[in-house]
Chains A and B, each alone.
Chain A
Amino acid sequence: MPSLPPILPRDVARAERMTHAGEHGFDAPVVDPHGAALFEYALRLGDDALILGQRLSGWTGRCPTVEVDLSLANFALDLVGQATHFLGYAGKVERRGRDADRLAYHRDVLDYRNCLLVEQPNGDFARTMARQLLFSTYQKMLFDRLLVSADDFIASVSAKAVKEVAYHEELAAEWVIRLGDGTEESRQRMADGLAWNWRFIPELFDRDDVDEAMAGAGTGTDPTAFRDAYDARIGAVLTEATLARPADQRPILGGRRGHHSEHLGHILSEMQFLPRAYPDAKW
């Protein structure tokens, strides 16, 4: 077996020079910075929707009543539809021939860019609705701002999705109010559900260089700009639900960089089973 050619000192020196000059290594691929940020941004939008859609579909057939079963299945379908658009777009921007299915079914945990809130376990119905209120309120405010995105595709998907998530937010708020202002047991369950999910809110507003690049280009939006409006909206729902605002906890961050909780691997193993076991399957 032939051995690999040795790494010559001059190659090392060249790589060192380039690194110190603030450039990428000599073997780094050439990337277009705007395209790279847009790919990340589209992945985040798509992965948030995909993972929450998959999570919610776990309720199908198990809801307290058939009507609630349909409500949550409808939410899941709306979200998976949004994911299809955003992941399809990410694949197009990336220009490596990956379509939405390829990105959904053939990436592992470290390559997922969803926020940690959406991968949290469903828990009981109260915890699921608490998570839904916290996420849909954020998503509604995000899409409201992406309606005027300089990127026509993001603007048009947002225009369709904003109506879907407005409904998710309304129904989730109705349930948070009814369970909070309900029986002693429902109240306790809703308080517990909110407390469980509360530590994942700061990540939604944790602006990083991708957010800044996208906001600067007019493609995306700065999430910190609607943090106050978000707190006010959640506060109003909690007041109507006669619930106290949960105590702030140490935030958990990292989903946008691929640092996920143990739960995402389990979600993916179920979601990706079929296309991985039967690569040629069509549906």
Chain B
Amino acid sequence: MTDWPLWEVFVRSKGGLSHRHVGSVHAPDGAIAVRHARDTYTRRMEGVSLWVVPSGAIHASDPADDGPMFAPAEDKVYRHPTFYDIPDGITHI
């Protein structure tokens, strides 16, 4: 049981929200991984839906590439939609 693969766990906390990564579990296969995720991460009513994904199936960015990957966005404040005048009386924006 020490050679069980790792699975990443995603929980939808309520209808309408997206699944969020909450952690990982070890399990021999997907069906048991869902059970383990349920018993590990939704014991306190944290969720209404679960996804598990083999950790090996995730392609991740390389922390060594932080510069080229993320630094160019730093000085592009105009990409935030904060340069509009919002008329009076508009709520929920």
Contacts and interface: CB of A to CB of B under 8 A. Distances in A.
Given A67-B27, A70-B40, A70-B43, A174 B4 contact: no
A100 to B, nearest CB: 23
Interface string B42-81: 0100000000000000000000000000000000000000
Nearest to B32: A174
Interface size class of A (residues with CB under 8 A): 10 to 19
A70 B32 contact: no
Contacts of A272: none
A74 interface: yes
Nearest to B35: A171
Main secondary structure of the interface of A (DSSP, over half): helix
A66 B26 CA distance: 9
A5 interface: no
Nearest to B43: A74
B39 to A, nearest CB: 4
Interface size class of B (residues with CB under 8 A): 10 to 19
A178 interface: yes
B31 A67 contact: no
22 contacts: A64-B1, A65-B1, A65-B4, A65-B26, A67-B25, A67-B26, A67-B27, A67-B36, A67-B39, A67-B40, A68-B36, A70-B36, A70-B39, A70-B43, A71-B35, A71-B36, A71-B39, A74-B39, A174-B31, A174-B32, A178-B29, A178-B32
Given A70-B39, A71-B35, A174-B32, 11 more contacts: A64-B1, A65-B4, A65-B26, A67-B26, A67-B39, A70-B36, A70-B43, A71-B36, A171-B35, A174-B35, A178-B29
Interface of A: 64-68, 70-71, 74, 170-171, 174, 178
